Structure 1
Amino acid sequence: MLKLFKIEWLKINTYRTFWVLFGTFVVFFPLTVFFSASKYMEQTSGARGSGPNPEDLAKALIGAPFVFPKIWQTSAWFGGHFFVIIGMLFVMLITNEVQYRTHRQNIIDGWSRLDFLRAKASVMFFFVIAATLLVFITGIITGLAFSAPGADLFEDVHYVAYFALMAFHYLLIGFFIAILVKRTGLAVIIYFISVYVIDGLLWLLLTIRGNQMGYFLPFETVDALIPSPFTPEMMKLRTVADYSLLISTAVYVSLFTYLIVNRFKNADLKT
């Protein structure tokens, strides 16, 4: 797979859109976390007056999201929101090849259809690993900057693993949409709407009156593993255990992997 990734890298490292979107994630995600941490800690630290104020109320409700151990959840949560940029980039990389039929040339040159899928999977793993490392580095630097000495650095670090799973899952669904739709603009729009509109609306419909079925939607099953660190404990709705969401995610991963392979193996590459 490393050899396939080297070939893919030759394709994408001269693609300006790749550097713009990937650079946006790499730069703005950690800056947003650190800037938010700076402002929050500035507002909630120091001496206060005798009466109640909004800053003290916020601190009482949501605690300390930018210090250890909660910073891991916060970094992963912010990372998840910014990672949609990488998801759209990945969709574009696949659909550009399908739309302009350059994937046919790979197969003419000796690749099998599975080789093409493996090559794209190598790019997917690159994005997941790079993004997960950035989430970890952002969490550790922000936590060290704002936590008190002696804090337990690695308590709740499992949220970084949850982020890696979420990133992989998001890209896998994007992979399926790209293979199915083939047209770059339409595929990106469908991906974006699926993440931000359809998933949210279905979640609302399926969680009315305490119903938990909404947490088993394709995107929500991984999103729910990293809840917002800014939601007060009393307002949290999920009662589904993490292991149930992990099992659900494994089922979706198996399903989408099968659909991707089956679709591309049987697709007419002339269309």
Structure 2
Amino acid sequence: MYRLLSIEFQKIFKNRISKILVIIYFSLLLLLFLISNIEFELFGIPIRIADQGIFNFPFIWHFNTYVADYFKIFFAVVIVSMMANEYTYGTLKQNLIDGFTKKEVILSKFLSIIVFSFISTILVFAITLFLGLRFSSYDEPSIIFSQLEYVLGYFIKLVAFFSFCLFLSVLIKRSAFALGFLIFWYIFEFLSHGIIKYVFLKEKEKTDTLVDKIYDFFPFESMSNIVVEPYTRVNFIKTIGTQVGMGNLKDYSVHFSSILIVLCWIFIFIFSSYQLLKRRDL
């Protein structure tokens, strides 16, 4: 296992572009520190982010894991380009000649995904804990360490997303086309969901329908269901919602069923990647 990881890390950090993207990815996570200094006006009312309760425990676990998830696209490029380079430069074929099995090739990629996802999760945990201890109105341990399931959800989302990227890079072999298909599939899920629900079936309600429940099993939708948007939990958003007569009926919890669906997708992506590589003549 150590040998597989060592080789993968050498491939990443000896490639200048991959190394830069990894540095950008982890640097962006550190930008979570800057959120506390953001100030803006809404309808002429000055609003400072730090005063809206987003750094209060336990809400900060929800908010930071959701925001940090936006930055994962940078490491996704690294994963896709790594696999594409394996085909382009014959590295994959050379590894097999050197004694690697195709199973070890996929395993090495998956292990690197887990390691980087874990490092990212630990970094987000540390940043969140620091900001919470500095700005939160609550300092009781029982409150500080409640709702840590958002951190677990963040880790699983990363592993699933990067596993999807790995599968596409094995399937398509070209980094640009693989990333293009990733974007296409995201848009397809979003648009087809809305078109079927609101155009064809003419659903008026915002609550869950049969269409929503079906789409809950789609890759991107299932990942997004683990950690849902936290913005409507922010103080000034809730205040505006109350004033216009909109109650807060949304469920923000991390559900085991959502995690289970995404774990199944991780297995499907990794197993399919191995099967594709196994049957492919290199």
TM-score interval, normalised by the smaller of the two chains: 0.7 to 0.9
Between 1:238-247 and 1:181-190, the stretch displaced more is 238-247
Task: Name the structure 2 match of 1:231.
Answer: 232
- Asked if 1:204 corresponds to 2:194, the answer is yes
Between 1:6-15 and 1:200-209, the stretch displaced more is 200-209
- Asked if 1:148 corresponds to 2:127, the answer is no
C-alpha change, 1:240 and 1:166, in structure 2 (3 Å) is: same
Q: Is 1:76–1:135's contact at 8 Å kept on the other side of the alignment? A: yes
Task: Name the structure 2 match of 1:189.
Answer: 180
Task: Name the structure 2 match of 1:219.
Answer: 220
Question: What are the superposed Cα offsets for residues 45-67 of structure 1, whole Å, 9 maximum, x if unpaired?
Answer: xxxxxxx97458x999xx62222
1:63-142 equivalent positions in 2, closer than 5 A? 64-142=53-131
Task: Name the structure 2 match of 1:249.
Answer: 262
CA distance in 2, matches of 1:72, 1:242: 15
Between 1:15-24 and 1:249-258, the stretch displaced more is 249-258
One-letter code aligned to 2:194: L
Q: Is 1:43–1:55's contact at 8 Å kept on the other side of the alignment? A: yes
CA distance in 2, matches of 1:19, 1:239: 36
Question: What are the superposed Cα offsets for residues 166-197 of structure 1, whole Å, 9 maximum, x if unpaired?
Answer: 000001111110000001221122223334x2
Q: 2:281 aligns with which of 261, 264, 268?
A: 268
- Asked if 1:161 corresponds to 2:162, the answer is no
CA distance in 1, matches of 2:138, 2:127: 18
Question: What are the superposed Cα offsets for residues 188-239 of structure 1, whole Å, 9 maximum, x if unpaired?
Answer: 22223334x2332234346543322333220121211111211257466669
Task: Name the structure 2 match of 1:18.
Answer: 18
CA distance in 1, matches of 2:138, 2:37: 18
Task: Output the TM-score relative to the length of structure 2.
Answer: 0.81
Task: Output the TM-score relative to the length of structure 1.
Answer: 0.84
Displacement of 1:70 = 0.8
C-alpha change, 1:221 and 1:236, in structure 2 (3 Å) is: farther
Task: Name the structure 2 match of 1:35.
Answer: 34
Q: Is 1:99–1:184's contact at 8 Å kept on the other side of the alignment? A: no
One-letter code aligned to 2:216: Y
Q: Is 1:174–1:191's contact at 8 Å kept on the other side of the alignment? A: yes
Q: Give structure 1 stretches of 5+ with no counterpart.
A: 45-51
Displacement of 1:85 = 1.5
One-letter code aligned to 1:255: I
One-letter code aligned to 1:35: L
SS in 2 for 1:216: coil
CA distance in 2, matches of 1:245, 1:188: 25
Q: Is 2:50–2:135's contact at 8 Å kept on the other side of the alignment? A: no
Task: Name the structure 2 match of 1:7.
Answer: 7
C-alpha change, 1:238 and 1:69, in structure 2 (3 Å) is: closer
Q: Is 1:132–1:163's contact at 8 Å kept on the other side of the alignment? A: yes
CA distance in 2, matches of 1:150, 1:240: 22
C-alpha change, 1:150 and 1:238, in structure 2 (3 Å) is: closer
CA distance in 2, matches of 1:161, 1:207: 31
Q: Give structure 2 stretches of 5+ with no counterpart.
A: 239-246
CA distance in 1, matches of 2:50, 2:28: 25
Across the aligned residues of Structure 1 and Structure 2, the Cα RMSD in angstroms comes to 2.8
Displacement of 1:82 = 0.6
Displacement of 1:268 = 1.4
